[in-house]
Each structure stands twice: as structure tokens, then as C-alpha cells.
A and B are shown apart, each in its own frame.
Chain A
Amino acid sequence: MAGPKPPWTVKFEINVFLLVVTFFGLLTRLYRIQFPRAVVFDEVYYGQFVSLYMKQVFFVDESGPPFGHMILALGGFLGGFDGNFVWNRIGAEYSSNVPVWSLRVIPALSGALCVPLGYLLIQELGFSYITALIAALLLLLENSLIVQSRFMLLESILIFFMLLAIVSYLRFCKAPRGSTVRWLWLVLSGTSSACAIGVKYMGLFTYLLLLGLAVHHVWDLIGDKTLHLAVVVKQTVTQVMALLVLPVVLYLAFFYAHLNILHNSGPHDQMMSSAFQASLEGGLSRITKGQPLEVAYGSQVTLRTISNKPAPCWLHSHKENYPVRYENGHGSSHQQQVTCYPFKDVNNWWIIKDPARTSLVISSPPRPVRHGDIVQLVHGITARFLNTHDVAAPMSPHHQEVSCYVDFNVSMPMQNLWKVEIVNRDSDGETWKTILSEVRLVHVNTSSVLKLSGFLLPDWGFRQMEVVTDKVYKGYQQTAVWNVEEHRYGRSEEQKERELELNTPTEIDITSNLSFISRFLELQWRMLSIKVEESEHKYSSSPAEWITMDTNIAYWLHPSTNAQIHLIGNFVTWTLANIALVIYSLLFLVHLLRRRRKIQDISEESWRQIVESGAVCVGGWAVNYLPFFTMGKTLFLYHYLPALTFQILLIPIVLDHIHSHILRSHSQRRAFRAVILAVLCAVFVAYYSMSPFTYGHVEMTPDQLAKLRWKDSWDILLRKR
């Protein structure tokens, strides 16, 4: 009867359960998301970056890679946000130009899709649709996940990509060999791993878990003697490409997009090197465009430190002298102060002079300064020579004082010769280049190195930064490396003319082209090396408090009533998840030991299923939770949510195992099903009771608030009337 199928048929299956849970996921996450129309918790933090994206202004955020910010910015872009909003206070009303709905909808959608992904994950692990349904239900009714999804925050997006990566990898493993769809799953898995890492560094943990699964999979392939070696090699190489190479490429792509979108200079320019700044529009590039490239004798330059600690600054001098005696009693040379000044100033200009000649202007042709040359540095406005001598520096007495030489006729000779050492040179004869060269200035007489001590001078030094020379110079220290930022060839012989020249901005220019890779490396390194000051936040908590939900975070409080939003989880689900973890560990241990003694309680197939689901769920929980114990940074309850998601998925697995392997008789099973039903009802009740804190739509009386404070350690806000 059945003839050959026409070649272009599509077989379509609809899993109604999946549709239903997705629908409810969307409902719980998207319900009135534009309420409250005010800045909620960390929106104040992410919002500023969204605004900067809208204005295409460069910024550095040390908290994570740029992909997450980009996704949030996409929402703003789609909603037509112009970026004009001051993100400075939690609870501030949004102005009418902020498209609240579209800013919040992407995280909400990701959060909603986590529910069907949970369903799929359980199914991929080989459990029945009922088990999968329970998993979806638990995720659906988890208040903390809902709260975190409903605002412009990153965790729901992160969890979405994590689950997607795992689900698609499991799909890949289970799919029959040889089908093309299979490779698509693999690629999807690699892509979503990269996205997860791109949203937050935390995604790295799940990625490592995934790699662990992949290594195990490949190891099995190697041991499978029915496969030809070529097949094994091919499979291995493909997985390496999809799971190692692809994520790296995508990660770079995120940065590529980030750097290309943000091409305007902005508030964080100063954190980057001069060369990097020159690659941004406006800011430094406006000033330095078309500067002469090679520093020559007679060049007028500003010298900036490479170090950003405590702040980026320029070598500076001014009319004032060091006080004859400091507060601590020791004396100084009383010569002109040399400091490092974190603002642009005409006093930052220095002239490079050839010790052998008296001329302060550029000769024609210009004679470039090379590595190893000896120069003098003349301060532009005061025309004094940069000098150092064996006098203790004001704040760090074990270093030498640096001054601009004033001859007091007190048998203190001028020592003003400096050797230029280009640190990042390729060859020894290299010339000193504007912006690109990093140089060290070594004092000829004392062979000490000009550097920033890191201390601030007191009032007599206008709280500018102290500059010293250091005799015991070790290795490479950022504080001792300088580069020429602004540069022009000096033309004026007369001091008066020269002052005028120094006061006019530089105009001529060249562009310095940094490759993408070097910009990426610099940005990434800067992001990783910024030390955030460890400050305790009112709602910060320690990892040990998370597991029992001893802590909460107040996200928002209505300006006039007691309506409020908190990050509080579903207490029943959290307890269940903890119990499930304990039961699973015990079960696993018992089975493991008994199987070792060749006692088979369960079939090989269900054992493998247990191991696999443990690797995913317990593993996912452990890799996303335990590392926080070693982290020094300020932590919040929301850091636990990825771990929690995996832990919740363990509940139905344990229930399924008890139901099908431990309970023997029919009546027991029936009773157990009734218990499960009751527990699910309890979960719903808990969800419903906590929902005022989740959606923040109910004006509550103090009595109601007190009733909802299930744990004494929760910090519930109460507006005093």
C-alpha cells in the first residue's frame, strides 16, 4: 500500500507536555515584568553598561566577559533605548524613555526556557516523562529562579546556556552514529558552552564538567574494539574541534564584537594603555592623532606610567620645592618637586635633550633617541633638569629623592643623565617610539631606576604621587616603566615661545594600529587583574549559608507601601533537593560497594543511568557550588542558583529510583505516588505563599510580613509608619 515517501516530507511530533510546561514557564516568568517600573537591585549595575552599549562607549567591567552585557543591550536595542538614564540608585523610577519590558524580556525568556530544558535533560538521561514532568514542575515553581529571571540580570541566561550545553551534548551521545543531526547537537553544545562562559566566568565550571563527560565518552570510544581506529580518530577530532576550538573562537568573537561596537572613548579609558586608548575614537586619539612617531632630541613629551596603581599618572613637576624638613624630621634637598600627577596638565611636558648639545629644539633631520642612549630631561615650563641624588625620598626613605635641579651652591652636584632602556624592544638599536615603546629611565650616576613608589605626598606636595628612584630593581615592575603619550617636535628656542607652544594642544597626528589580538589580550588581562576592593555588602553571604537558605536579598521595596521583592527560594524545594542529594550519595555508595563485591541489585543498564545522572546533576551541583568556598570575593545568594538548578533536577531522579528499584510491592508504590503528589502540593503551597515576595504586587501588613518570615535570619524590610 505505502508507496515510496516523497523526498521532502517533514515528520512532526509535538510533545504536549513540553508545550504545557513551556507555556507555564512563560506565564510565571513574563507575568507583569514591567512592574515595578523602577531599578531593581543589580539592574543598577548592568544598566550602566547597557547605556554605554547604546552610546557605543568603551568600558571595562571586571565582573565578567562582555557577552552577557551584549545580550542585555540587545534588549535595549530592540526596545529603542537611547541609553539616557542615570543608573545610580536601586529603587529609582525609570524615565519614560527606558523600555523596561524589552530590557527584561530576554532574561525572562531564558528563565522560562529553563523549564522545558529541565524536562528534556531528565528525558535525555533516560527517565520517563512523568519523572521529567516532576523536574519541570519543580523548576517552574522555584521562586528564586523566577525572581532572578524577571529582571535585567544575567543568571537566568547563564543557567539557560548551561542546561542547553548539557542537554545537547547528551543528545549527541545518544543519537545514532552517522546521522548529521548528531553533529548539529555537538556544535550546539560547544556554542552554548561558549555562550555560558561569555555571560559569566562561572560558566567555566559547567564547561569543565562537560569536558569531563566528553573525555569519558572518548575514552569509551577508544576502548571499543568494534570501531575502526579511523572512526575513533575522526570522532575524537570532531569533539575536540566542537568542544575546544569552537568555544575559544566564539569567546574571541564576543570580544571582537565588543571592541567593535564600543569604539568611542569613555570613562574607563584611563585603565588602558596609551596605545589602546589611541585606538578609541575621541579621548586620547583626538589629542594624539598624527603625532610624530619617533622620539628625537628636542621632542616635547608627556611621560605616563604603565602602572595603574593607585592611578594612571604623568611625570610632573611644578614650581614648589621640597620642604627643608619633613614632619618626621629628616631633611630634603629643598629642590623642586617631581611628582606623578593623574590629570592632564601643562606641567606634565618634558623636553628630551642631548647632553652634548645645548639646543632644546628639534634638529633637521630629527635625530631619534635609541635604546641605550643617554639623555637629559628638561621640565618644559620651569626649564629645570630632572635629577636624582643620594637623598632619602620623602615618603619612602629607602629610595632616592627625585627633583628638578636647583643649584643652591651647597656642593650638591647636578646628576641629570638618564639612560633610556626600551623594555619591549625587538633589537638593541631600536628607536624610542611614541605610545608604543615602554621605557625605563636608568639614572647614570647611581644606576637606579625612575619609578612610582605608590605613596601619596602630604599637603605640601598637593597629595600628588611620589616619584623616586630605586637602586634594587628586580625583574619587571610596572611602576618603573613609562611611555610617551603626547609628543611633538619642539620648534621654539625662546622659553616664552616654548611655554606658548606647550600650552597649545598637539594637532598633527598618526594613528597607531593595534591588532585585535593585542587589544583583546590587554582588555582581558586588565579585566582579570583588577582587584575589586573586598567590601562586605549588606546582603552578602557565605556559601555555607546558601544550602539551607539562611540568607536572602532584598531586591526592591515599594516607595510607599510594604510591597517588596526578595530573592528567596521555595523552601520545600530546597529542602527536598538537600534530602535528594543525601539519599543519592548514600544509594550511590551502597551500590558501588556492593557491585564491587559482585552483588548485582540493579541491572547494568539502570546502574549506568544512575552514574550518568549523578555525573550531570551532582557533578553540576558540585562544580557550581564548591569552588565558591575558595573564593575571596563578595558572594551573594544568587551565585548559588546554577548549582541549585542541578540539585533540583536530582529530586525526580531519586524519586524515580526509589519508586522503581527500592519499593517492591504495588501497594508500596501506590502509597509512594500519593506521597509524591502531596509533596508537589506542598511545593505549590510554598510557591504560592512566597509569591508576594516574588512578584512584589501585594501590599502587605506587618503581620503578613511576620508570617512570611519563615527563617529568623531572613532580612525582611518593614516600612515604619
Chain B
Amino acid sequence: MEENACEAALAPHYQQDQYGFGVRKRKGGKAVTTDSNDTFGSAQQPSNGTSTSTSTHGLNQKACWQPPRAEGYQSVCTLLLVTVLSFATRFYKLMEPDHVCWDETHFGKMANWYINRTFFLDVHPPLGKMLIGLSGYLTGYNGSFPFTKPGDKFEEHHYGGMRGMCAAFGAGLPVLAYLTVVEVSGSTSAALITAALLIFDTGYITLSQYILLDPILMFFIMAAVFCTIKFYSYTHRPFTTPWCVWLVLMGVSLAGCVSVKFLGVFVVLLVGLNTAAELWELLGDNTLSLTEVYKHVLARVCGLILLPLFLYLTIFTVHLNILNKSGPSDGFFSSSFQSRLLGNSLHNASMPEYLAYGSTVTLKNHGVQGYLHSHSHSYPEGVGALQQQVTTYPHKDVNNLWLVKRAEDDPDALSDLIRHGDVIQLEHIETTRNLHSHVMEAPLTRKHQQVTGYGANGIGDDNDFWVVEVYGGQKGDLVKTIRSKIRFVHKNTGCVLFSSGEQLPKWAWEQGEVTCNPHDKDTPSFHWNIEDHSNPKLPNISLEVLKPSFLEILVESHIVMFKTNNGMKPKEDEVTSQPWQWPINYQGIGFSGTNETDYRVYFLGNPVLWGLNLACLGVYLLMVVFAAAGLHRGCIMDAKRHGHACVLTGGGGMLFLGWLLHYLPFYAMGRILYYHHYYPAMLFNIMLTGITLDCLLQNVDLLVKPPYADWALRGGQGLLAVVILYSFYLFHPLSYGMQGPRAHEEGSPMYNLNWMESWEF
């Protein structure tokens, strides 16, 4: 212990007063020892280096030494500077290009739908799109621009408001990151490095300048992280007003994250883990009674679970109430859901009440979004019999129409109305083939039978006979339109018409597979209901369709969202972005223009800064291992060193965890991925870079003697500033538009900057 080797390694000739000298100089002669800042009022501040070395056990972040922070007007000035720069970079050339860029075509359309109150389906929760729609509405956009495809000129339409709102959210990022890093590390210089890295990153600028969900999402993520950190700084004063305020704000930002994109759950996970760790600390504190611990738990349950849940539900309610008109993707939803929508054929529908022979119907599956569908194409060679394909298809189409016919060999069917147990045939109206199944493997689900369209002019064979069964019904029950769940049992083989949920390949236009399932289970994929129904012989009556309750609507819209999301698989032969490509900035996304004459915007992070961030991630890991080992072994360090070790393991650890949580899950995701999915993770990386570089520079005195150390510190900071600004100068055309020849040709402004072959600007 006495000859502890790491003492020599980590605490060389460095005296307290020398350190004081360094800092005093930096702060312009302010006193260092007292901490008048309210936030850290009772943060324990060991009086000297030796006392810290004894308190290694049960160290948490707050027990650590905190360097003093800039106060008063100085901090306000820096904050102001960061804010101004950040808004300036985001709003500069905001209105250019004056045409639709990249995914604006989607989110712009959705804004239209909100403004026109048309119902639509999207994989993201509604908040982000509602905000875009709202900002458009408030700034005089009337929802009439079609956003058909990237490159369409906006002309007289007011698109500035929507872009401006996104840019404002995007401009909030550096400010929040600055404040967070100040709070985590207590070092203004670290925070400034972080803010500069964010402000001058071309990727974040580009991503903030268009009508996209990402700036909004990232703003809420940053806000959640900031509130969490702020909340922890009041740990020693629980249940006071600021403590409660930050808790509530934390809950609000979490609700915001999840309501913009489901990717927001990663930050929920981060906050959850941190909260669990904090509660664990409280539980271990035997000075607290169990009742008090319960109070703490309850407060967090209310603030971090119930409040966000309530907000999320509220937002969804608003969403569902705004969108009350029928739209393009109604078919993805159940019949009862559709009946809510004005203009849908099921809204105040009037159709025959009971199914009868001669009816023309569409059949909707309960397990999979889609109607029973067929079209005049056969299964390809090698996939069962060469007969006509039968699939499920979520959109409304004439090929979804089927005619219900009497099976000739069914003597029991006396009346025209169809009853439970009757044998029927279903004839596809467009192609006049009958729904058919036989003992052949289904195309994908090999254990099931193939279902085909067979015969011609409605004449097939006895494999076309299906027994109608009403779910939960008895023999003789009538089949009600919409409300009856029915199953079709194949008469010859006993299997049941089934939608497997698998997606067929290109030869079937990626529609859903329909099979005949020999294993009868009680799952929704076996159940169908009649949706559209017409029969000239029967009177139409107004149907009192069961109005679904709010909870049912909510659950259904989520099920549909998740199913659609999981269905976003990369198509065959499509070049997709891989997660490993992201941190190395392997490939960006062309936002606008491809040709020489076009105004081109290429979405790519500033390569110099990204390289720096990636390197710092490695340096951080190295540093934190040594810092943690040093703390764990109880090495003797002076106060400053100890403080840095604490920052690296405490706040740095949290940020690193945030990076992991926002990055690693993508490796396990089956859906199609894009480069911009990395940006939330990059936020954490950038904050970590700020802390790492600052720690590195502050500890340069381990290598050189004091007066030079200070110079080295200043020099390092200066160099960093130059690197950031110069690289921004080099690469700013990526965000603010390039024209003229492409980068691999001489004469281009970006000539020689095409460092990677995979970049395309």
C-alpha cells in the first residue's frame, strides 16, 4: 500500500497551490475553494488531496470533487454565444434549396394530411408530424402542395415555417449539449468543445434544415438527458420544488421522445437504468427509512412512468381526433376501425345485413392487415402447382372482390342466406377462378397447403369447396356482415384458410402469403370478416356497426404500426446501410440533386470531426479503464485528478452507456436502416469527446512541468478550435449547397475532398 505504484503514475509533482494557480488564472482571479453555486452547494469538497484517497468506497458521482465553474455574466455570455452560433448555422440558407428534399416528401405529405384531417398510416408516433403540421398551419401553409417526389419546386407555397420549426429544434441541440456537459463535468471548456463540435458539424446542420422528424427527436433526447443530469444534482435535496420540476420535465421530455419516434425508447432505457441505479443507492442508505424509500420510488413511478404514459395517450387522442377523414391506407385497419372515418365506405354504411348466395364481398383477415386477393398471375415454377396466386393485399382494390356461390353438392342449403356449416365456393370476380386448395406445399410456410385460384368461368373441381363457420357459432347461425368472425374450412382436407403473415417474393409483388393451415388454432389469422358486401337481391340496411372503444382503437393502431415497421425489410438487391458503416462516416445520403447543374446537398457528418469523435471514443475507453482501476485500487490522487477520474467514470460512463444504447440495438434490427439513425448515438459520442479532450488537455501537466503545461493546455485548445473551424470551412458546402462539377473532377469546390470512394458529392 505504501509503495503503491499507481501513486507514482497518477500523482506526480503536483501541488495543490500550483493547481490553484492554474485555475485562478483561468477564472480571472476568482476564489476557487468555495463553491457558491446553488446547484452544487453541498457537494462535498475535500479540502485536500489526501482526504479523497481515503473515501474510495461507496463513491458516487456527487461525492467527487467538482471543479469550480464559470459564474454570472461569464457563463451567460458563453451560453449566449453558443445559442447565437447555433441558430445562425442552422438558419443560414434555410430556404434553399426551394424544392422538396429527400424524406420531406414523406413528412410534408403527412403535414398535409394533418392539415386536411385525412387519416393515414405511418410507422412513427404522431407528435413530430403533428408539430410539423401545426407549424405549417400557423405560418400560413394550407396543405395544398402535394410533396410528390424530391425535387419538386415549392413555388408560392409557404414551406419556411415547417423548416424553421425543425431548424429551431435542431438549434436547441448544441445549447442543451453545452448545458449537459457543464453539469456533468463542471468544466466550461469541455462544454465549449462539445458545443463547437455540434455547431460545426455539417451532418447535424443538414439534418436540422429540412422537414424531418430527427431534429425534433434529438431535441427531446437531449432534453431528457439534460433533465436527468439536472435532477441528479438535486439528489441531496429531494422533494424540494426544483427537484420536482426537473423530475416532471424529465417525464415530459421522455414522453416527447417516444411520441416522435419509437427510437426514443432507448433514451427511456438509459434514464430507467440511471433511475434504478439511483434507487439502489437510496435503498442502501440505511439512514433512510423504508417509507422514505417507497416515497422515492412512488415519485419516480409518477414522474417517469405515469406522466409520460398520460402525455403519450393524450397526444394519440389528439392525433386520432384530428384525423377523422378516410385516407389512402384505411385498408390496413380493421373494419370497425374504418367505420370511424368520414368518407370511408363503412362510415354509416348501408349494406345487406346477412351473407347470402350471390353476394359480392371483400374478406378481411384479422391477424394480418389485408384482404383476400388474387390476380391473373400464376405461382412460378417450382412453387407448388402452376395455378393462380392467392394473397393478402392491404389496399382496396377490385381484385379483392369475391362472389359467394352455392356448392352444387350441398343439399342442406335451403334458403338464400348462408348459415354456419354451409358449403360454399368463392369465385374471384375479375378472373372467374375459384378459391382452391390442394395437398401441395405452400410457397413459404412449407407445413401448410397451397391456396390457389383454379378453374375457369367459375367452374372448378371439388377442391373448391369451403365450409363457412362463424366463430363461436352453432349450426344454423346466420353470417353477419362485418360483425361475424368467420373461418373457411377446406371441405376435402379439413385445413383452414389462413394468412401466414409471411411476405411473398417479387413474383407476387411482395404481398402476403395465404395458406391452408392443417393445424387449427384459435388465432386471429384464421379469422376473416366480410367488409364490403353487395347483393342485388337483398335490401340494404344501415348497419349499426359496433363503435370501437378508444382503447381498442389505440391498441389496433399500435399493432398496425409495429407490423408495418417490421415489414420494412430491405428489398432484394437493394444496397442498404449497415450499422458498422456509420461511425466511420462511410456513406452519406444525397438530399438534393445528382447532376452537375443541380443544387446539391449531401448529408454527411464533417469527416474531420467524426474522425476525432471516433478516436476520442477509443481514448475515453482507455482513460476510463485506468481511472476506474485507480479509484478501485484506492490510488492516491490529488483533488483535481480525482475529480477527473470521477467525471470519467460517473457522467462519462452514463454518456458512454447512452451511446451504446443508441447504437448497438441496430445490429439486431431486421428492418431497413439508414445513416441518420446514428445521429442520436453521435450526440452522446460528441458530449463524451468534449469531456475526454478536456480531461486530456487538463492533465497535460502529467507530461510537462507546470508553466509549460498551461501553455500546452492553451495551445491544445487553440489547435482544436482551428481544426474545427477549418474543417467546417472545408466541408460547409455539403450542407449549404454545392453547384458545378462533382467532387472527383477538377474545378469542383470540393475537389480533393472526396476522401472515401463511397462518398458521392
A474 near B758 (CB under 8 angstroms)? yes
Residues of B within 8 A of A598 (CB): 286
Of the residues A219, A474, A537, A597, contact of B290 by C-beta under 8 Å? A597
Interface residue A223 (Cβ < 8 Å from any Cβ of B): yes
Interface residue B575 (Cβ < 8 Å from any Cβ of A): yes
Cβ-closest chain B residue relative to A230: B5
Interface residue B156 (Cβ < 8 Å from any Cβ of A): no
B290 near A535 (CB under 8 angstroms)? no
In the complex, the number of residue pairs spanning A and B with C-beta atoms less than 8 Å apart equals 48
B633 near A632 (CB under 8 angstroms)? no
State how many angstroms separate the Cβ of A539 from the closest Cβ of chain B.
Answer: 10
Distance between Cα atoms of A475 and B576 in the complex (Å): 12
Interface residue A225 (Cβ < 8 Å from any Cβ of B): yes
Interface residue B573 (Cβ < 8 Å from any Cβ of A): yes
A222 near B758 (CB under 8 angstroms)? no
Of the residues A225, A454, A536, contact of B633 by C-beta under 8 Å? A225
Interface residue A234 (Cβ < 8 Å from any Cβ of B): no
Distance between Cα atoms of A219 and B6 in the complex (Å): 16
Distance between Cα atoms of A230 and B8 in the complex (Å): 14
Beyond A538-B447, A630-B668, whether A225 also contacts B575 by CB under 8 A is no
Residues of A within 8 A of B4 (CB): 225, 229
* CB<8 Å pairs between A and B, sample of 20: A222-B633, A223-B632, A225-B4, A229-B4, A229-B6, A472-B594, A474-B587, A474-B758, A475-B575, A475-B587, A475-B757, A475-B758, A536-B444, A536-B447, A537-B446, A538-B447, A597-B283, A597-B284, A597-B290, A630-B668
Residues of A within 8 A of B757 (CB): 475-476
Cβ-closest chain B residue relative to A538: B447
B760 near A474 (CB under 8 angstroms)? yes
Residues of B within 8 A of A585 (CB): none
B632 near A222 (CB under 8 angstroms)? yes
A225 near B283 (CB under 8 angstroms)? no
Residues of A within 8 A of B280 (CB): 596
Interface residue B634 (Cβ < 8 Å from any Cβ of A): yes
Distance between Cα atoms of A461 and B252 in the complex (Å): 63
Interface residue B730 (Cβ < 8 Å from any Cβ of A): no
**0 or 1 for each of A467-488: is its CB under 8 Å from B? (1 = yes):** 0000010111100000000000
Distance between Cα atoms of A222 and B280 in the complex (Å): 24
State how many angstroms separate the Cβ of A550 from the closest Cβ of chain B.
Answer: 13
Interface residue B718 (Cβ < 8 Å from any Cβ of A): no
A219 near B632 (CB under 8 angstroms)? yes
Residues of B within 8 A of A228 (CB): 3
Cβ-closest chain B residue relative to A475: B758
A477 near B575 (CB under 8 angstroms)? yes
Distance between Cα atoms of A563 and B446 in the complex (Å): 27
Cβ-closest chain A residue relative to B290: A597
Distance between Cα atoms of A476 and B286 in the complex (Å): 61
Distance between Cα atoms of A474 and B757 in the complex (Å): 8
Interface residue A671 (Cβ < 8 Å from any Cβ of B): no
Residues of B within 8 A of A537 (CB): 446
Interface residue B445 (Cβ < 8 Å from any Cβ of A): yes
Residues of A within 8 A of B290 (CB): 597
Of the residues B286, B572, B634, B670, contact of A225 by C-beta under 8 Å? B634
Interface residue A356 (Cβ < 8 Å from any Cβ of B): no
Interface residue B559 (Cβ < 8 Å from any Cβ of A): no
Cβ-closest chain A residue relative to B283: A596
Interface residue A593 (Cβ < 8 Å from any Cβ of B): yes
Distance between Cα atoms of A632 and B668 in the complex (Å): 10
A454 near B629 (CB under 8 angstroms)? no
Q: How many residues of A contact B (CB 8 A)?
A: 23
Distance between Cα atoms of A475 and B756 in the complex (Å): 9
- Which chain B residues in 545-585 approach chain A with CB under 8 Å? 572-573, 575
**0 or 1 for each of B497-532: is its CB under 8 Å from A? (1 = yes):** 000000000000000000000000000000000000
Distance between Cα atoms of A538 and B632 in the complex (Å): 54
Cβ-closest chain A residue relative to B632: A223
Interface residue B1 (Cβ < 8 Å from any Cβ of A): yes
Of the residues A223, A225, A474, contact of B1 by C-beta under 8 Å? A225
Residues of A within 8 A of B760 (CB): 474
What 9 A-B pairs have minimum CB-CB distances, sorted nearest first? A229-B5, A475-B758, A596-B283, A223-B632, A536-B446, A596-B284, A454-B573, A630-B668, A222-B629
A535 near B633 (CB under 8 angstroms)? no
**0 or 1 for each of B426-460: is its CB under 8 Å from A? (1 = yes):** 00000000000000000011110000000000000
Residues of B within 8 A of A222 (CB): 629, 632-633
State how many angstroms separate the Cβ of B207 from the closest Cβ of chain A.
Answer: 21
Distance between Cα atoms of A474 and B575 in the complex (Å): 9
Distance between Cα atoms of A254 and B575 in the complex (Å): 34
State how many angstroms separate the Cβ of B627 from the closest Cβ of chain A.
Answer: 12
Of the residues B1, B445, B572, B587, contact of A536 by C-beta under 8 Å? B445
State how many angstroms separate the Cβ of A630 from the closest Cβ of chain B.
Answer: 5
- 5 new A-B contacts, CB < 8 A, other than A219-B632, A228-B3, A597-B290, are A225-B634, A454-B572, A474-B758, A597-B286, A632-B670
Residues of B within 8 A of A535 (CB): 446
Distance between Cα atoms of A630 and B664 in the complex (Å): 13
**0 or 1 for each of B253-287: is its CB under 8 Å from A? (1 = yes):** 00000000000000000000000000010011010
**0 or 1 for each of A533-572: is its CB under 8 Å from B? (1 = yes):** 0011110000000000000000000000000000000000
Q: Most chain-A CB neighbours within 10 Å: which of B290, B444, B632?
A: B632
State how many angstroms separate the Cβ of A597 from the closest Cβ of chain B.
Answer: 7
Distance between Cα atoms of A596 and B286 in the complex (Å): 9
**0 or 1 for each of B277-305: is its CB under 8 Å from A? (1 = yes):** 00010011010001000000000000000
State how many angstroms separate the Cβ of A414 from the closest Cβ of chain B.
Answer: 26
Distance between Cα atoms of A454 and B629 in the complex (Å): 54
State how many angstroms separate the Cβ of A474 from the closest Cβ of chain B.
Answer: 6
State how many angstroms separate the Cβ of A262 from the closest Cβ of chain B.
Answer: 31
Residues of A within 8 A of B668 (CB): 630
State how many angstroms separate the Cβ of A628 from the closest Cβ of chain B.
Answer: 12
- Which chain B residues in 710-761 approach chain A with CB under 8 Å? 757-758, 760
A223 near B633 (CB under 8 angstroms)? yes
**0 or 1 for each of B1-25: is its CB under 8 Å from A? (1 = yes):** 1011110000000000000000000
Residues of A within 8 A of B6 (CB): 229
Cβ-closest chain B residue relative to A598: B286
Residues of A within 8 A of B5 (CB): 229-230
**0 or 1 for each of A83-103: is its CB under 8 Å from B? (1 = yes):** 000000000000000000000
State how many angstroms separate the Cβ of A644 from the closest Cβ of chain B.
Answer: 24
**0 or 1 for each of B210-251: is its CB under 8 Å from A? (1 = yes):** 000000000000000000000000000000000000000000
Residues of B within 8 A of A454 (CB): 572-573
State how many angstroms separate the Cβ of A455 from the closest Cβ of chain B.
Answer: 9
Distance between Cα atoms of A472 and B280 in the complex (Å): 56
Distance between Cα atoms of A536 and B6 in the complex (Å): 58
- Which chain A residues in 214-235 approach chain B with CB under 8 Å? 219, 222-223, 225, 228-230
Residues of B within 8 A of A476 (CB): 757-758
Distance between Cα atoms of A598 and B288 in the complex (Å): 12
Distance between Cα atoms of A80 and B573 in the complex (Å): 47
Distance between Cα atoms of A100 and B162 in the complex (Å): 74
Cβ-closest chain B residue relative to A396: B573
Distance between Cα atoms of A477 and B575 in the complex (Å): 9
Distance between Cα atoms of A593 and B629 in the complex (Å): 27
State how many angstroms separate the Cβ of B328 from the closest Cβ of chain A.
Answer: 26
Distance between Cα atoms of A475 and B633 in the complex (Å): 49
Distance between Cα atoms of A228 and B3 in the complex (Å): 9
Residues of B within 8 A of A538 (CB): 446-447
Distance between Cα atoms of A631 and B514 in the complex (Å): 24
Cβ-closest chain A residue relative to B519: A713
Cβ-closest chain B residue relative to A595: B284
Q: Most chain-B CB neighbours within 10 Å: which of A472, A475, A632?
A: A475
Residues of A within 8 A of B283 (CB): 593, 596-597
Cβ-closest chain B residue relative to A535: B446
- Which chain A residues in 100-138 approach chain B with CB under 8 Å? none
Residues of A within 8 A of B587 (CB): 474-475
Distance between Cα atoms of A571 and B21 in the complex (Å): 74
Distance between Cα atoms of A476 and B444 in the complex (Å): 32
Residues of A within 8 A of B575 (CB): 474-475, 477
